[in-house]
Amino acid sequence: MKHPAFAVWASLSIASLLLSGCVVNTALQAEKAEPAGSVTLRSRTLGDRTLKPTACQSGEHQLFLGADFFDHQETGQGIATRLIVEPAGAVILRFFDVAHPLDPGVLFRRQDCGRFELSLDRTGWKINDVYDLHVSLDFDCRNASGDTAAGHLATDHCH
All structural domains of the chain with their residue ranges: 1-32, 34-158
Please give the pLDDT value at position 88: 92
Q: Interhelix angle for 4-20 vs 22-32, to 10°?
A: 40
Say whether pLDDT at 16 is over 80. Answer: no
Instruction: Give the residue-averaged pLDDT of 31-54.
Output: 89
| Torsion on CA atoms 133, 28, 36, 106, rounded to nearest 10 | 50
Say whether pLDDT at 29 is over 60. Answer: no
Instruction: Report the percent of the chain where pLDDT is more than 90.
Output: 49
Whole-angstrom distance, CA of residue 85 vs CA of residue 63: 11
Instruction: Give the residue-averaged pLDDT of 141-147.
Output: 97
Classify strands 91-97 and 65-70 as parallel, antiparallel or unpaired: unpaired
Tell me if the pTM is above 0.85: no
Mean pLDDT of the chain: 80
